[in-house]
Amino acid sequence: MRALWNNVVLAESDDTVVVEGNHYFPADSLKREYFRNSDHHSICPWKGTASYMDVVVGDDVNANAAWYYPTPSEKAMQIKDRFAFWHGVEVQA
C-alpha cells in the first residue's frame, strides 16, 4: 500500500492494518521529511485520543492530513505506532 499526495509518496508498506476502512501504516514507513506535528486532536469513543500531523510537500500544506493514536485503548492496540490519512491523501495498492 502507498499513501500519496501531490504526486509524492508519503508512506509505503505491505504491512497495513485496516480499521473502519482506513489503512494504518507502520510509523517507520513514513517519509518523515513530509510531516510536521500539529496541535490538533480528536477523540474516538473506542480507540482513544488521536493526534494529527500536517503533510508538507514543497510550499503546499495539507493540515491534519495524517493521524495516529499514541496511546490507543485496549481494543485498538493493533493500530499503536501506526498512521492513517485523509484530506485528499490517496491510499492505493
| Residue whose grid cell is 500544506 | 61
Mean pLDDT of all residues in 26-36? 98
Sign of CA dihedral 33, 44, 63, 1: positive
Mean pLDDT of all residues in 6-14? 98
pLDDT at 31: 98
pLDDT at 87: 97
The confidence band for 7, taking pLDDT boundaries of 50, 70 and 90, is very high
Distance CA 10, CA 12 (A): 7
Of 28, 31, 39, the residue nearest 67 (C-alpha): 39
Give Cβ neighbours of residue 77 (< 8 Å, ≥ 6 apart).
Answer: none
What are the chain's domains?
A: 2-92 (2.170.150.40)
The 10s digit of each residue's pLDDT in 43-92 is 999 999 999 999 999 999 999 999 999 999 999 999 999 999 999 999 99
